[in-house]
Amino acid sequence: MINISRREFIRLVRQAYRQVPAEMIQAITNMDIVVEEWPRKEDLELLEEPGTLFGLYSGVPLPEREGSGLSLPDKITIYRQPILRSCSSREQAEREIKITLWHEIGHCIGMNEEDLHRLGYG
Q: Could you read off the pLDDT of 42-98 as tens digits, one per residue? A: 988 888 777 789 999 998 887 787 766 667 788 999 999 999 999 999 999 999 999
For 4-26, what is the mean pLDDT? Answer: 92
Q: Could you tell me the CA-to-CA distances from 84 to 1, 63, 75, 77, 81 in Å, in that order?
A: 6, 33, 21, 15, 5
Residue 118 is predicted with a pLDDT of 86
**Has residue 16 got a pLDDT over 70?**
yes
User: CA geometry: angle at 36 spanning 33 and 45, to 5°?
Assistant: 100
For 86-112, what is the mean pLDDT? Answer: 93
**Has residue 23 got a pLDDT over 90?**
no
**Has residue 122 got a pLDDT over 80?**
no
Q: Which of 99, 62, 63 is nearest to 78 (CA)?
A: 99
For 11-40, what is the mean pLDDT? Answer: 90
Architecture of the 6-63+71-118 domain: 2-Layer Sandwich (3.30)
